[in-house]
Chain A
């Protein structure tokens, strides 16, 4: 008679706690149906959930390809947080860094900054600063992008400069905090230990500064400080919310600018902030034309946590540029509220890999508003 243990079964039921995130799945496939990666590859969230529940371990590609853009979680009828599942799974294996974008320089810099430097990033902007202010501004990793991305048409430093200009224009002199990178990427690549180190350092600096509001330009900073730091008593504000709040103190040049808006995943689907950017854009006098896929259905910019920037990423970016061009034409603007989206989309716009004809401008929200607003009122 056959012995059952001589017959190899592919099922290995495991009580792995990460699986509790996905146990509710009934395999409807809605996630795979709307996954932006699935439109350009064979990536299959449903299949990944299925094989995980059967006890199969996930491969490096399964884990690093996901953009954690959360479109699947947004729609999932069983409310399965697939991005959280991917993040937790990442934390359990060593990711193969070979395919990481820009030779993984940005994740290495984050480690370097967290482990080997005594202080945070230093910034220098024109404008009035007050180290006693209750409002502090943190621009994010902008200067690092300038140093290592080497884009010719885009200066990331300008994100911070424009924000400073706007803050001054509404009559506020902010404190400028020398924080380390917020740790978003450490968290999402699954390096919880590194993230905790960064968080502790930053929290201490923020507390010491005695501020009540921390203003940030990047959607990832906003999500990270608000959701992951949970700083009691300190309000985190995204630049769009800040401008929206001080709308009445800004005046705008007459203009015929056409603009469309890309909802960054961390600001939109993660933080449910869809209105402030739109209010701000409408108030500039520019005509706002929506993307075909917007708000909770906005398609990811194509890269997440510098994990991958491959053909699939590029295909998604080009799709975004196509969608934006259909909305505002070649002479219009695609405004984003996230430093990362700004970097990725400008990167593909500039290096033309693969070859394309898109000519519209991709602008960061603060920069766009600063350009259209009058110097001082």
Chain B
């Protein structure tokens, strides 16, 4: 009887699929390339970024998971070779330097995305200009209660679409879909906690998708200032930073000093995994995400499914959750068909 599933990934979509499958009695091998589960997802789940979905949604997915007898969790593990790319599939898994062959009845690709490395945009000076952080640095700072804001902080500028909607610097030509809501939420939280600080967002378009428009509305009401224009460069002045941009709504080239500049970095496909996907015979989109066929979560290879930010493009948490559930359902259906035969 066909009843085991290999899931590659360890973020919220992979966790959702895992939960649904083990609840159905299917044994899951979770090959997590990272050293812990939900490493990126937790950036969306706590600290100042708990807007994305229900609070603690990540924790509720992790609870009791590792001790489940139907789950074989492999952290720090990689798929290093594809031995057979059709049912029943066979792959080589490498974990901590040891390799093993593994047979799987069905496979779910849920590798998520990789945070864009802001160092690639030299003009923004990430890592060599003091005071230039990413939204995730800021989030971690809040989580660890090392908030980089003090009484001298007068202005914080958020720069949106960093590494997104660009053909340059190895960025993602698509929109990350989270950076507007994410940054606006952070901006709003800062404005509420420190009302005397000027909070400015430099944006190209505001795309607060799904139900997040309220964040944008609330931010404007609270006095967060929105300036439309892509920041061309950030420079260090004697006492703070200076951003250079064009205010496209005023047709005016301008500069604006700030004490902190927060880069809203987007996501790119995991660098190693597009090759693996291709070896499975799975087609990719032009932007190197797994391509989805006419049916949601179905890849071009029968028996291999994909969900979350690994396929099509970067997605927000609620969408990853529903796709994780859908992929589990598709896998169950596939296993049932194989069992009947």
A residues neighboring B (CB under 8 Å): 1-5, 7-11, 13, 15, 23-27, 46-47, 50-51, 53-54, 78
Contacts and interface: CB of A to CB of B under 8 A. Distances in A.
Nearest to B236: A1
B234 to A, nearest CB: 12
Contact of B256 (A1, A9, A51): A9
Contact of B220 (A9, A13, A15, A26): A26
A4 B238 contact: yes
Contacts of B206: 26
A3 B239 contact: yes
Contact of A7 (B221, B225, B242): B242
Nearest to B253: A10
Contacts of B241: 4
A136 to B, nearest CB: 43
A11 B236 CA distance: 19
B252 interface: yes
B225 A26 contact: no
Contacts of B207: none
A319 to B, nearest CB: 28
Given A15-B223, A23-B220, A24-B221, A47 B250 contact: yes
22 contacts: A2-B238, A3-B237, A3-B238, A4-B237, A4-B239, A4-B240, A7-B237, A7-B242, A9-B255, A9-B256, A10-B247, A11-B200, A11-B227, A23-B223, A24-B220, A26-B220, A26-B226, A27-B226, A27-B228, A47-B249, A53-B225, A78-B217
B190 to A, nearest CB: 14
Given A2-B238, A15-B223, A27 B249 contact: yes
A13 B239 contact: no
Nearest to B251: A47
Interface of B: 155, 198, 200, 206, 216-217, 220-221, 223, 225-228, 235-242, 247, 249-250, 252, 254-257
Contacts of A11: 200, 225, 227, 254, 256
Contacts of B226: 26-27
Contacts of A2: 235, 237-238, 242
Contact of B257 (A4, A10, A78): A4
B198 A13 contact: yes
Q: DSSP majority for the B interface?
A: strand
A24 B226 CA distance: 11
B237 A1 contact: yes
Given A9-B254, A9-B255, A10-B252, A23 B240 contact: no
A26 B237 CA distance: 31
Contacts of B255: 7-9
A12 to B, nearest CB: 10
A26 B256 contact: no
Nearest to B235: A2
B250 A1 contact: no
A4 B242 contact: yes
A23 B236 contact: no
A46 B248 CA distance: 13
A4 B237 CA distance: 5
Nearest to A78: B217
What are the 8 A-B residue pairs with the smallest beta carbon separation, nearest first? A4-B237, A4-B257, A13-B198, A3-B238, A1-B238, A10-B254, A2-B237, A9-B256
B238 to A, nearest CB: 5
Contacts of A4: 237-242, 257
A231 to B, nearest CB: 33
B270 to A, nearest CB: 35
Given A13-B198, A27-B249, 12 more contacts: A1-B237, A3-B237, A4-B239, A4-B241, A7-B242, A10-B247, A11-B225, A15-B223, A24-B220, A51-B250, A53-B225, A54-B227
A33 to B, nearest CB: 14
Given A47-B250, A53-B225, A54-B250, A25 B220 contact: yes
Contacts of B155: 13
A50 B223 contact: no
A67 to B, nearest CB: 23
Query: Which residue among A1, A11, A26, A27 has the maximum number of chain B CB atoms within 10 Å of its CB?
Result: A11
Contacts of A8: 255
Contacts of A10: 247, 250, 252, 254
Query: Which residue among B223, B240, B252 has the maximum number of chain A CB atoms within 10 Å of its CB?
Result: B223
Contacts of B235: 2
Contacts of B254: 9-11
B219 to A, nearest CB: 10
A4 B240 CA distance: 7
Contacts of B217: 24, 78
Contact of B225 (A13, A51, A78): A13
Contacts of A15: 223
A50 B200 CA distance: 14
A26 B217 CA distance: 9
